[in-house]
Each structure stands twice: as structure tokens, then as C-alpha cells.
Structure 1
Amino acid sequence: MSGIYIHIPFCKQACHYCDFHFSTSFKKKDEMVIALCQEIALRRNEIDHDPLIETIYFGGGTPSVLSINELESIINIIYENYTIDDHPEITIEANPDDLSEEKIRALAKSKVNRLSIGIQSFFEEDLKLMNRAHNAQEAIDCLTLAIQEFDNISIDLIYGIPNMSANRWRENIQKALELNIPHISCYALTVELNTALPKLIEKGKIPPVNDELAQQHFEILVEMLENNEFEHYELSNFGKPGYYSKNNTAYWQGKSYLGIGPSAHSYNGKQRSWNINNNTKYIQSLDQNKLPKEIEDLTPNDQYNEYIMTGLRTIWGVSLQKIEKDFGHRYKQYLVEQAQKHIEEHLLFLDGDTLLVTRKGKFLSDGIASDLFLVNLG
């Protein structure tokens, strides 16, 4: 076991682009914390085969809407029921408007040792377009305070935002560099069906998302961060040496994780499970000591596809030796044959026995991976 993920399904308001599970009503927050603690205790026997917990990650939603006491109660239940590494990475995702000086100092005194802050942009017009709960000044203020208390900080930035010029995107990155943030996660703005964004685009209130603009921003991002000693260790993630996200790295390397909370997913290499994405039903189920989850057994093809997708996104790539060892010679042969055209187009390359994306192929890595997937290999 590598880690435990806890999904906190509450947000102050709905961002126009976000399709994660959350509620803007906090009426059931107290009940939710109790239910989360109950699930943590009920699932302690699922990981007897690999009991050491190396990372604890609070995601969402917006985990920073929880009080320090609520966060500590969840962390304490984990420590009571699991074997925790001597130096675990404990991350909380946070929004700038929640990170007052008092909250930051209280978090620094807790077991939390890493902040992942959803900045998204340092510009007011971008934040308003995305319907973020914070403003540009709050973004600067919270980071100025946070770096005084925390060494390990990550920020999220979004590129490909309509009307965002190349210069404004450069200024966003430059601001993060000036603040000496050691880890930066960057994502292209995407149009998800069950969000406000496609409706706003359809009504002409927001310009359409432009893939060419996103690719231009991505190339600027890679160049600027690599020129400033960041390592591009995963498609969307850049870290200075020693500051990779241990939680996310474990996911990309196929390690097991336990997902706690409504909509949370779990993975053990052979099975994937997911909890119901309804807060009320989740709470009711746990109140009856029942786990509200579904389980899927992963076929060899599923496991192969998972490894291809995660491996190609990272600097570790896809090992042909591992493919042959775990899945057999036919899988390796299929992969080599499918990869050949991408190698000829300089999107993939072989480094010894490892298949990697080229710099040209990075932005296209998910599409390349899907072309290497297989449905049947009888």
C-alpha cells in the first residue's frame, strides 16, 4: 500500500470548469466527517498484505473548508487504524481564500506537511472567467504567508484559458518562479459536459477553448520551467529535485491506494473500486456500517492499458521488460508494433528497453497512449 486519499466533497462555489464531485451546501459537513472516519476504520483490513502507508492526501472538493480539528480527527483515525511511515507525506489541497495567516500557522503545527494550493491564475480576469472563489491579491497573499511556514508547497495553474495571451501565461509562470514555489501542476482548461463552461460557450459569454492556444501555452510552460531547474516528471507536473509529489508518483507508478469518501476510487493492482457519488447516500450507508462501493476486477488488458496510460505520462516511461514479464511476449510484440509509427513520427523513442515520449510528443501523450491500448489479445 502506498497511500490513502480522502475526498472532501464541499466547495464554497462551483468553478465553471470543474466536474469533480462536490456540494456547495455545508449542512452535512459534520455528518460527513463522522462518515469518513467510519469508512477509514471499516477498511483497515483491506491492506493487510501491504500495510505501510506512505502518503495521506486530502483532495476534493475543497479540503481547506474543514477546520483544523476536523482535519486532525480524520488524520488521528488513520493513525489509529493503519501503520504509517515514519516520515509520511501528508498533503491538503487548499484554496487561497481559506488560507488566512491563522489557518496556515495552525496547519503548520499539525501533521500536514505539504500544501497544494489552487491558484489557477494570478490574474483577476482569468479567475472571474473560471468563477473562482478567490481573487488575484488573495493568491499572492496566501502564498507569501505559506512559504514562511511550509517548505513543501505545490500550486495549480490552468493554461489554454480563452483570451489568455502568451505573455500573460508567461507572467503567471514567472510569478510562481519569483515566489520560489518548488512544485507546479499545470492543466489545460477542458470543457466537461456536466459543468457551466459548455453552456457559457454556447451562449457566447465565453470564447471557445482553443487547442492550438493550449499547445502554445504548454510549450512555453515546459521551456520556462525546465530553464529554471524544474524536472518535468509527469505530463502535468513539474518539481524541483526532492519535491516530486509522492502521492501522485505512487499513482503513476501503479502502487496501491485507498480512496475514502464519496466518489473516491481505490486500486490494488488487480481491482478498482469506487464509492457512491452522493453525499446523503454515502453518509446513510456508513451510518449502517456498510461500505457504499462497487468493485471491478481488472483483466490483463485493463492492467496493460493502465500501465501504458500512466507510464507514458512520466519520465519513467513504459518498460518493455515489465510488459513481457507481467503480461507475456504477445503484449510486448503488440506494443512494439503499435509504437513504430509514433517512433517514425518522432513522438516516441526507445531508450534501451524503455518506451518514452519525445518533447514533441508530450502534449499528445494521452492520445498516443490510447493508440497503444488493446481491447482483445486472445
Structure 2
Amino acid sequence: MAGIYIHIPFCRQACHYCDFHFSTSLKKKDEMIGALLTEMELRKDELKQEPVRTIYFGGGTPSRLTPEELSGLIRGVYNHHPVAEEIELTIEVNPDDLVQTDTEALLQQYRDIGINRLSIGIQSFREEDLKLMNRAHNSAEALKCLETATRYFDNISVDLIYGIPGLSDEAWKKNIETALSFGIPHISSYALTVEPKTALKSFIEKGLIEEPGEEQAARQFDILTQRLKTAGFIHYELSNFGKPGYFSKNNTAYWQGKKYLGIGPSAHSYDGTTRSWNIANNPTYIRQLNKGELPLEREILSAKDRYNEYLMTGLRTIWGVSLERVEKEFGPTYKAYLLEQAKEHLERDLLILEENAGEQVLKTTDKGKFLADGLASDLFLLNLQ
């Protein structure tokens, strides 16, 4: 099974913390849609006719497109690929795009064109947080959006951000409780990070905004994990929590190393051995595709690259890193290296070796979860050939 990600590079406005690729102008929207369809045509054989199990509209803000425009892109996928009958079709939406129109009609149109999962960028229910991050919606719109969306969709995920300057633990708990009150089955939650070349970075350097604190983020991560556990959610990936049956099939495929095709400017693709990425420039992307050229670069991943990537993704998930898979795919030297590097973290109760169906699996402990990325980098293979 494979997945297709379609990057829609348009947003209503720039959030202060965001370093994703997007434009706030819709002037070239029609040309961009044409280019996306052209890229689908040119790359139709890259998945080797494997059935497509997930289609994911990300961005940017895909809800900046109309249902008719989205439907055309969905038809493009069906025209070029075999699609599984039980497909997960997700769209990322922002509250402002849902409520600043006939919300119920829009949600019904989404359902009519085959969308069956919403990922809603709430980020926070507090006005102070939304203003600090320069979100395009306000608290009332976030509440209205969820109130209506839950009447039309069962499979809904919301994004929440913690570690925001000025966000107290009590306010964070209230954010979590507000999300849970709508009965949603999935939450994606991230610490506010300061990326280079963002407005947030500039404001911090000028002393206008306090820098996010690591202790605050770690504490609020613990609050989140404990509360969602009692609410029946499974913490199946570092930043993702789902009720049974509601894990993101799209993202789970990424973490488990399945093939995926990324369509659109800045989108990445992976076929098991090769990674490619499109240029992050809208005019150049459109121009090259109009000439029948793919605007991308490719790299063949070495065994070391694939091993390191498996560690990075595996340790973030409940499935962990299989020692049997490491030995089978990379050889006994890699397995021995991994166990040697993991010793200190096993002793510190940050990692644990568990038996799973007769094989040993390396996982993070509850104590080590928040440190998963750092632990993976400590285990990376740097010099072994």
C-alpha cells in the first residue's frame, strides 16, 4: 500500500512560528492546480501501481481551495493510480476557512467529494495565544468550527500547541479539556518551536516575545500525555494521540517506512530506497511543469541513511525499533552497534527492550518519550561503513 500527499501552498496569512512553504496570494491558484495535475501525470508510474491507501491534502492551508478544485485533484489521483476501496482521505483545514462561509454546506460538499477525515488547525482556544502566533481565527471561531464539524464528521483530528510563552499549566489543561469536550478521536500536539527566518524568531531576538522554555514544554507534554491516557487515547507517536481505530493512516505509513508520493512545491517522496523533494518556489514549480519538466531533486539513500531514519521514526512510535529488522535489513554489525549505543539510555530508564511476538523491540519509556528525537540522534550510525 502507498500514500499520496498533495501540498497546497496557500494560506490566508503567515503564522509567526511557521516555516512551511506557502504564499498568501491566490493569484496563481489556477496555474498551480494545473501544475499539480501535470505532476501527477508525469509521476504516475513511481508507485509501481501499488494501491493508494491514503490521500492527504496538506499545506499551507488546503481549505483555501474550493470543493470543486479539490475534487479535480482527487480525480487526478484516481485517473493515474489504483485506489484502495477503504481509502483515508484527509484535508487540513483552518477554522476561519470553515466559519467564514456556509459551514454546513461546505462540510457536506467535503463529504460529497470523498473526504472522510478532517485535520483542524485549532492550535489554541485562548485569544492571547492565537494573537501571539498570528493565527487567522479567534477563539469563538475555533469553538464554532468544532461544534459544526463534529455533526458532519466522525474522524476528526485537532492540532494543539503547548509551551507557548504566557501559557500557564492551568490554561493548558483548559485547552485540553475544551478539545475533549467535543468528543474528537485524535489530537496532534506539538511544542512551540522557534524556527530560523520566522517572525517569532525575530520578535524573540528583539525582546518583544519571551523565548519558549524547555521546562515548560516538558511539563505541559507530561500533562497532555497523562490526561489523554485517562481519556482513552493511545499515545502512538511522539506528537499524536488517537482513540483505537482512529490513528492517522497517512502518518502511520510514513513512520513505518511505507512508500509515498509527494505532489506540489516543497513536497517530499519516498519509494523505499530513494527520496526526492520538489522545489519550494511556486513560480518556478509552475514554470518547469509547464515545460514538462519535474522540479525536483533525488537522492539514493545509503544503508546508513535508511538505518538512521528507521531509528528516528521508530523511536517516536509505540512500535519501536525491531532488532530483528535491523539485523535482517542492515546486518549483525548494525545490531551490535545499536545495542552498544543504547546501553547508557537503557540504564537511565530512557529506553527499554521489550519482547514482541518473539522478537526484541527497542522503545522509549514514559520518561524518555519527550526526548525521543535526541535519543535517536545518540544512536545514529555515523562512521560505520
Residues 297-338 of structure 1 show CA distances to partners (whole Å, capped at 9, x for unaligned) of: 100000000000000000000000000000000000000000
- Is 1:367 the counterpart of 2:374? The answer is yes
Quick one: distance in 2 between partners of 1:108 and 1:169? 32
* Cross-structure match for 1:336: 339
Q: Which amino acid aligns with 1:40?
A: M
The DSSP-based 3-state class of the residue aligned with 1:45 is: coil
Tell me, yes or no, if structure 1 residue 190 matches structure 2 residue 193: yes
- The CA deviation string for residues 131-158 of structure 1, in whole angstroms up to 9 with x for no partner, is 0000001000011100100010000000
Tell me if 1:318 matches 2:321.
Answer: yes
Rounded to whole Å, the distance in 2 between the matches of 1:47 and 1:208 is: 43
Return the letter of the residue paired with 2:86.
H
Question: Displacement, 1:204?
Answer: 2.0
By how many angstroms is 1:339 displaced?
0.4
Q: Provide structure 1 residue ranges, at least 5 long, that are not aligned to the other structure.
A: none
How many Å apart are 1:208 and its aligned residue? 1.0
Q: Distance in 1 between matches of 2:24 and 2:180?
A: 33
Cα distance in structure 1, aligned partners of 2:50 and 2:372: 33
Q: What aligned pairs does 1:281-300 form with structure 2 within 5 A after superposition?
A: 281-300=284-303
In structure 1, the residue matched to 2:59 is 60
| 1:263-305 residue CA offsets vs partner (Å, 9 max, x unmatched) | 0000011010000110000001111111111000100000000
Equivalent residue, structure 1, for 2:7: 7
The residue that corresponds to 2:31 in the other structure is 31
- Whether contact under 8 Å (1:16, 1:197) holds in the other structure is yes
Other-structure match for 2:161? 158
C-alpha distance in 2 between matches for 1:308 and 1:96: 35
Return 202-211 or 212-221, whichever deviates more. Answer: 202-211
Provide runs of 4+ in structure 1 moved above 6 Å: none
Distance in 1 (alpha carbons) for counterparts of 2:309 and 2:350: 20
1:211-236: per-residue Cα shift (whole Å, max 9, x none)? 00000100000000000000000000
Native 8 Å contact 1:335 1:372 kept in 2: yes
Distance of 1:110 and 1:175 partners within structure 2:
30
TM-superposed deviation, 1:109: 1.8
Q: Which runs of 5+ in 2 are unaligned?
A: none
Match of 2:184 in 1: 181
Residue 248 (structure 1) shift: 0.2
Question: Hey, what does 1:303 align to over in structure 2?
Answer: 306
Query: SS where residue 47 of structure 1 aligns?
Result: coil
Distance in 1, matches of 2:225 and 2:231, equals: 10
Question: How many Å separate the matches in 1 of 2:210 and 2:149?
Answer: 34
User: 1:101 offset after TM fit, Å?
Assistant: 2.6
Answer yes or no: is the 8 Å Cα contact 2:116–2:153 preserved in 1: yes
For residue 104 of structure 1, report the CA deviation from its aligned partner.
1.5
Q: Is the contact made by 2:47 and 2:260 (CA closer than 8 Å) also made in structure 1?
A: no
Deviation at 1:202, TM superposition (A): 1.6
Q: Is the 8 A contact 1:41 1:78 kept in 2?
A: no
Q: For this pair of structures, how many residues does the alignment match?
A: 377
Matched letter for residue 36 of structure 1: L
Give the counterpart of 1:241 among 231, 239, 244. Answer: 244
1:128-143 matches, cutoff 5 A: 128-143=131-146
Verify the 8 A CA contact 1:19 1:192 in the aligned structure 2. yes
| Residues 24-66 of structure 1, C-alpha deviations (whole Å, 9 max, x = no match) | 1111111000100111111111122x51100000000000000
Tell me the SS of whatever aligns to 2:382: coil
Which residue of the partner structure matches residue 364 of structure 2?
357
Give the equivalent residue in structure 2 for 1:96: 95
Q: CA RMSD in A?
A: 0.7
2:273 corresponds to which letter in structure 1?
Answer: K
SS at match of 1:233: strand
TM-score, structure 2 normalization: 0.97
Retained in 1: the 8 A contact 2:47–2:259? no
